Amino acid sequence: MSWFSKILKQKDFDTELRAAQAVESILSNETLTSDLDDEEAKLLLNWGLEWAKRVALNTSHLKDAAAQENMHPKLKAIRKLMRLVNRWGANLESLEEAQQAKIFAEIVEHTKLIFPQESALRQTPPETLPQLSLENPAQLITQLHQLLNGLVN
């Protein structure tokens, strides 16, 4: 067996440990959901955890130092995105459409940092606020999550 074949047969780097660390970086920051009720906070937290795990699992081909370098700005973008959604949800009734469109544009830009390889996302004009049914923060979070997951999957 050649040395190259041995390398290809080696187990992927420890993405489970990286995922646990990514999850901890979200769970340890209470300010990410502090303005929301429990149900809404849980929705946003689950979204953030899902994306943090995904970022970590996408580093299976990288050694630890390179993985940390890759993950750090993406996890930071996830936390910024969560803070934006947290504030938007908490102020849903008082924000004008132009303000909501600005927040949505920031969310799209953070999502592009998290998933830079997604072509559908790169083609999304960030200034265009989609038609969302925004009756309450839980709907906002659910619809944003579904919309953005559709662009990055």
Max mean pLDDT range (38-52, 86-100, 109-123): 38-52
CB 74 within 8 A of CB 113: yes
- What are the tens digits of pLDDT across the range 3-29? 444 444 445 568 889 999 999 999 999
Q: % helix / strand / coil in the chain, to the nearest 5? A: 70, 0, 30
pLDDT of residue 14: 81
More confident residue, 132 or 95: 95
pTM of the complete model: 0.86
pLDDT of residue 51: 96
Rounded to the nearest integer, the mean pLDDT of the chain is: 86
Is the sign of the CA dihedral 49, 54, 60, 65 positive or negative? negative
- What are the tens digits of pLDDT across the range 131-148? 776 789 999 999 999 989
Say which residues have a Cβ less than 8 Å from residue 64's Cβ, sequence separation at least 6: 13
